[in-house]
Amino acid sequence: MKKRGLALIMAGAVALSSAGCQSGTGSRETVDKGGETKTESTASAGEATTAAISSEKVKLTICSPDNTFGLSTDPELQQSVIDMLKENTGVELEAIIPPISSYNEKLETMMAGGDVPDIFAISQATTRLPNYVAREQVMPLDSLIKSSVKLSEIDQDYYNALAIDGAVYDIPYYYPRVKGLFLRKDIMEQYGIELSNTPTTEEFITEMGKLKGTGIIPFSFPKWIDNFQFFMNSFGAYAGIYKNADGVYVDGMQEPQMKEALNYLKELYDTGVMDQEFITTENNTMREYVYTGKAAADIDYVMNYSNYILQSELAGKATDVQPIYMLKGPDGKGGGLNESIQTAWCISSECKNPEAAIRVIEALVTDPEIHAAFYNTGVEGKHYNIEDGIAVPTDKAANSGYSIKYNYLTDSFIKDFTTLKFQPDEKTQKVLRIQRDMIEMAMELKGDKQMIPSGISSLYDETSASITNTWKEVVSQIVLSSTSIDEGLKTYKNFWNSVDGDTMLKELNGH
Amino acid sequence: MNPKSRIKIKESNSRKIFRLFNALFLAVVCIIVVIPIWNVVVTSFAQDQDVMGGVYLLLPKSFTLKNYARVMNSGYMRGFWNSMFVAVSGTALAMAVTVPMGFALAQKKLIGRKIIMRIISITLVFDAGIMPFYILIKTLGLIDTRLSLILPFAVSTFNLIIVKNYMSSIPESLIESAKLDGCNDFMILIKIVLPLAVPILSAVMLFYFVSFWNRYTEAVMFINNSSRYTLQVMLRALVFQSDGSLGEGNAVYDNTKMAVMVLGMLPVLIIYPFVQKHFVSGLMLGGVKE
């Protein structure tokens, strides 16, 4: 009996191993000169047909956070967008969709571990892209862009915004993002606040000061210190290292105009115009304060105008909001908070099929149907159904928090979305027209944004993150009155000396 | 002794005052712990408009089950079941490994026992960080598998030490008697040691379950396919959904977030009462140093 059992096990093992051999030798993948992956038959002539059919099949990994793939965190719904993308590009895709809150950590871990996705979205591109280029993890895309008619139509300036040493390593999919201030018009009218779209810094403090003691937060602000740059622009100050008008790299924290900017920020806080609890306020909470009328104003992307109209209505506090594109400082300087192009697509330098990768990116960036599905609406029948020409979320999608967004109509490089089966209602279309005008105005009045390429100064490459963290810490301490301006700047100067900042500037300036 | 025959000891005034302050202090601590949980529960039953604008609800303004209905019919349930799978199978595996290990290490005649314990204890102090961990998991071929969330955590040094200490306290004479009756080591573990170790096993099981249930970083780093994400990953995604720098997500209101949080707390809240009676005694006994 024991012998029979043993024989049975051995027979099973032999059968399994032979099956394994068959699957292992039946085909092999090669990459031809054109970059196309071919599946070649190595078994028999009878399998040649199968190989020919699968010769066009290419499997690439694509990595993008969970606020893409149809704006739903439901895996089934995400899969429907992946399927749509596969169907339209003919490229087999394996999607990696990390939560947006951990996206950068996940991507960095994968890249450091040698698992660079073939196609991936980057955020904070001005900071991260130079590192990826220095580590040779991304591919130059100039020739691939030239080979694509649709991608070539995008204004070269948007590619150049993140170009490094004249080479393009990313493909943007939105216009540069600019932040301005939004003010609730109902509160402005009720309390007699009179401000233009480009008031002076003094006018802003004086007018918003009218709300003190009313129980309304005059100006809600998020905990993200980078947003202070909006006010620094009014004084010609720039937090971080930048190239000044003479073409020389300097440290913005040590320039004289920074002191004026910090004085103004401190005044905003000390006079109670800025939310006293801003240091713990999330972007979401800040927005909700304005939607609900708890706050009169906040700072946000100009492209979010429509959200204020729709969300304040949902909150039962409907109002229009007025944008402030810039605050004019004492010398008439100023500008919107220019975040430049911070999100874009890259292709891994080890991608075995760049042609297929660019095909996917081209579809995501330039195809109206795929762009809308990927970044906003999802797939018909899965995320939404069309009723009388209007898209209505399915129950399954709505349960995961999904709602129809139309921002792609104003943000993307695609000019014409009329081919889509559904359109926003009249009211939304009107709001979006206003939003587009606002975006154009914000683009004209945007402030400075600079990117320092990696590889010029090793000192800078090593310490740039610490410099950013330190100025943020010092500025927040100054605004919160934990330290005086002089003491704060002295602390910063000590840090600067500790990282040999002057040598770094010399390196950057090529001395 | 008959309880009625006990001598009643009169408490001094200072003792009474101490007890009063003690009770007050503990009441304050309880309130501090309970208030956030209460807020989560109340908010999870509130209507959308009642939670907008960073409102901190302590008294219900409205009552609706809509948020729970939403969550039950959403993709979050997949995360819930993924978490349940990882937590249940992980706990089972961890117990299956930790208990025999603890039993073996409690045997004084085990050769090299102290050295083995010292080597194991090193992991309490040193942590290589996420990168070496990622490379290890990748080398083992476990990336994008649920096993990557179970296997590396099959033994917790802390739990192992507690189990080992508890088992060391079991009288050797009991084990010797069992041996005389013909039991081998495995039989001794099953028939003698385990029934005596129920308190510590309950406590350690709860520790393991909570640790598997709450695992977040590894789930994000090691899992690529979002259909395998655990509830904690989805919950964090939900909480931070529209706060990212890569464009705008959905505006999910706090009531829905809190409903998912309640769902996330539920398994531990359900399990705890069943092991509560063993919890303190188990820890006390397991915590005694040899």
State which H helix or E strand residue A176 sits in: none
Per-residue pLDDT, B2: 55
Within 8 A of B251 by CB-CB distance, chain A residues are 284, 287, 307, 311, 401, 403
Q: How many CB pairs under 8 A join A and B?
A: 157
Give residue B241's pLDDT band: very low, low, confident or very high (50, 70, 90): low
Best probe of the A interface among B50, B74, B148, by most A CBs < 10 A, is B74
pTM of the entire predicted model? 0.76
Neighbours of B142 (CB within 10 A): 17
d(CA B225, CA A184) in angstroms, rounded, equals: 42
The region of weakest confidence among A266-275, B41-50, B99-108, B278-287 is B278-287
Least confident of A428-437, B149-158, B250-259, B278-287: B278-287
Is the Cβ of B133 closer than 8 Å to some Cβ of chain A?
no
Q: Which residues of B touch A402 (CB under 8 A)?
A: 250
Q: Assign domain B75-286 to its CATH architecture.
A: Orthogonal Bundle (1.10)
The conformation of residue A302, written as its DSSP 8-state character, comes to G
Residue B286 is predicted with a pLDDT of: 59
* A113 closest CB neighbour out of B135, B224, B249: B135
**Unique residue bearing structure tokens 């942590």:** B127
Q: How far is A412 from A405, CA to CA, in rounded Å? A: 13
Top residue of B248, B258, B260 to mutate, by most chain A CBs within 10 Å, is B248
Chain B, window 247-286: residues with a beta carbon less than 8 angstroms from a chain A beta carbon: 247-252, 256
Q: At what angle do helices B76-106 and B113-125 cross, to 10 degrees?
A: 150
- The answer to whether residues B103 and B167 touch, using CB atoms and an 8 Å cutoff, is yes
b/e burial code for range A497-510 (CB count within 10 A of at least 16 → b):
eebebeebbebbee
Q: What is the enclosing helix (H) or strand (E) of A390?
A: strand A390-393
Give the pLDDT score at A284: 82
The angle at the Cα of A444, spanning A440 to A446, to the nearest 5 degrees, equals 110
The confidence score (pLDDT) of residue B289 equals 53
DSSP letter for A177, please. Answer: P
Which residue is it, tokens 């706990």? B91
Residue position matching structure tokens 């890259």: A346
Any A CB within 8 A of B234 CB: yes
- Enumerate the residues of chain B whose CB falls inside 8 A of the CB of residue A174: 247
Model confidence pLDDT, tens digit, residues B200-239: 899 899 999 999 999 999 999 999 998 999 999 888 877 7
**CA–CA dist B53, B254 (Å, integer):** 10
Residue A344 C-alpha, separation from nearest chain B C-alpha, in angstroms: 9
Distance between CA B238 and CA B250 in Å, rounded? 9
Nearest to A76 among B75, B225, B242 (CB): B75
Q: Is beta strand A59-63 parallel, antiparallel or unpaired with respect to A337-338?
A: unpaired
Structure confidence at residue B247 (pLDDT):
41
Q: Is B246 in the A-facing interface, judged by CB distances under 8 Å?
A: yes
> Which of B243, B256, B258 would best serve as a mutation to test chain A binding (most A beta carbons within 10 A)?
B243
Report strand pairing: A119-122 vs A171-172: unpaired
- The answer to whether A73 contacts B226, with C-beta atoms less than 8 Å apart, is yes
pLDDT tens per residue across span B136-149: 999 999 999 999 99
| More confident of the two residues B55 and A498 | A498
**Per-residue pLDDT at A57:** 64
Q: Kindly state the tokens that stand for A185.
A: 């018009």
Assign domain A27-175+342-422 to a CATH class: alpha beta
What is the pLDDT at residue A28? Answer: 36
Name the residue ranges covered by the structural domains of chain B.
Answer: 3-44, 75-286
Task: Tell me, yes or no, if B62 comes closer than 8 A to chain A by beta carbon.
Answer: no
Residues of chain A with confidence (pLDDT) below 70: 1-57, 511
Task: Tell me, yes or no, if the two domains A27-175+342-422 and A178-338 fold the same way.
Answer: yes
Q: What are phi and psi of A498, to 5 degrees?
A: -65, -25
Q: Does the structure show a pLDDT above 70 at B53?
A: no
Give the span between the Cα atoms of A35 and A356, in whole angstroms: 8
- Band (B284; pLDDT cuts 50, 70, 90): low
- Cα within 13 Å of Cα(A472), Cβ side: 12
Classify residue A66 by burial, with Cβ atoms within 10 Å: 0-12, 13-18, 19+: buried
Residues of A in contact with B227 (CB under 8 A): 75-76, 79
Q: Is B228 exposed, middle or buried (0-12, 13-18, 19+ CB in 10 A)?
A: buried
Burial (CB < 10 A; 0-12, 13-18, 19+), residue A301, is buried
**Mean pLDDT, rounded, of chain B:** 86
Q: The complex's ipTM?
A: 0.78
Determine the pLDDT at residue B243.
46
Q: Given this model, what pLDDT does residue A487 score?
A: 96
**Phi, psi torsion values for A91, nearest 5 degrees:** -110, 130
Nearest Cα residue to B75 out of A454, A29, A99, A174: A99
**Where are the alpha helices (H) located in A395-457, listed in sequence order?**
395-399, 408-411, 426-444
B221 contacts A105? CB cut-off 8 A: yes
Rounded to an integer, what distance in angstroms lies between the CA atom of residue A70 and that of residue B43? 28
Helix or strand or coil: residue A46? helix
Q: Does B135 touch chain A (CB under 8 A)?
A: yes
Which ranges of A302-366 would DSSP assign to H, the alpha helix?
305-314, 354-366
- Nearest-Cα residue of chain B relative to residue A74: B75
Domain A178-338 has CATH 3.30.2130.10: no
Q: Which among A458, A353, A450, A449 is positioned nearest to A131, based on CA atoms? A: A458
Write out pLDDT tens, residues A94-122: 999 998 888 999 999 999 999 999 999 99
With CB atoms and an 8 Å threshold, state whether B73 touches A396: yes
Domain ranges of chain A: 27-175+342-422, 178-338, 458-508
